Amino acid sequence: MGFQRARTEEQRNERRRQILGAAAEMLTEVPVAELTLTALSRRVCLAKANVLRYFESREAVLLELLEAEIADWLAVLEDVELPEGGSAEERATGLAELLATSLAGRPVLCELVSTQSTVLERNISTPTAIRHKRTVLGHLAKVVGFATRYLPELGDEAAGALVETTLLMVIAAWPSSRPPQAVRDAYAADPTLAVTCVDFAAVVRRTVEVTAVGLLAKAKVVPAREIPAR
C-alpha cells in the first residue's frame, strides 16, 4: 500500500506502535541478528525511508522495544503477591524461582537484553542513548524496589547488586541456551554433547538464589551454617 504521512501526534504515535509491534512479532521468529530494517519495513508495509521518519535506525527501534518489554515485565512483577512469613533463605529461593520463570517466559525481552551493549547501542545518536539510558535506569530502579520489598533483608544496595547479577546472567545464558541449527544437529547426532547446552531458567534460578543467599550471609541475615552447599 502507498505511504500516507501521519499528520497528527496521535497518528505518529500509532505508526510508531505499529513498527514496534512488528519488531516484537519478528523477534519471536528470528534473533536480533536476522532482523533487518528492510525486513521490518516490509512487515509494516512501508519503505525503509518511511520507517526512518519515526526511528533513526533499526537499533533505535529495538532499544525502544526493549524499554517497553522491561516496563511490561515490571508490571507483571508489581502484581505479584509478596510472601508473608518464611525465612529469608526461603524467600530468596522463591524470588529466584519467580525471576527465572518470568524471564524465561519473555523471550523477546531476553533476546534484547542479551544484545543491548553489543548490538543495539552501536548505531544510535547521543540523544537517543541518553533518553534510553534514563528510561532503563528508571525501570531498573523499580525492579530493585520490587526485590527489596520481596526480600527486605537485602536492603537497597544488595538488591541492586542482585538485579545487576541477574541481568548479567541473562546476557550470558540466553544466547548460550539458543544454539544455532548446526549445533542443535550436533546434539541430535550425539546426545552426549547436549551437556554443553545451557538450561536458561535453571541457570538464572541458581544464580539468583546463590547470589541472594550470599548477599544475605554478608549482611549476617543468614547464618553461615544455613547456607546450602553448592
DSSP 142-169: HHHHHHHHHSGGGHHHHHHHHHHHHHHH
Q: Give the list of residues 6+ apart from residue 73 with CB closer than 8 angstroms, or none.
A: 102, 103, 106, 109, 143
Q: With cut-offs at 50, 70 and 90, classify the pLDDT of residue 13.
A: confident
What per-residue confidence (pLDDT) applies to 10? 84
Residue 168: closest CA among 86, 226, 103: 103
Using the predicted structure, report yes or no on whether residue 93 has a pLDDT greater than 80.
Answer: yes
Q: With cut-offs at 50, 70 and 90, classify the pLDDT of residue 85.
A: confident
What per-residue confidence (pLDDT) applies to 228? 52
The more confidently predicted of residues 7 and 10 is 10
Residue tagged 516490509 (cell numbers) = 42
pLDDT, tens only, 24-52: 999 999 999 999 999 999 999 999 999 99
8-state DSSP, 120: I
What per-residue confidence (pLDDT) applies to 48? 92
- pTM of the prediction? 0.86
Query: What angle, rounded to 10 degrees, do the helices at 88-104 and 58-78 form?
Result: 140
Query: What is the average pLDDT value for the chain, to the nearest integer?
Result: 91
CATH class of 58-226: mainly alpha
How many whole angstroms separate alpha carbon 182 and alpha carbon 201?
23
Task: Please give the CATH topology (third level) of the domain spanning 1-55.
Answer: Arc Repressor Mutant, subunit A (1.10.10)
Query: What is each CA distance from 58 to 40, 45, 46, 120, 191, in whole angstroms?
Result: 9, 16, 14, 8, 38
Q: How many CA atoms lie within 13 A of 223 on its CB side?
A: 2
Sketch the domain layout of the chain as residue ranges.
1-55, 58-226
The more confidently predicted of residues 85 and 143 is 143
How many whole angstroms separate alpha carbon 163 and alpha carbon 77?
13
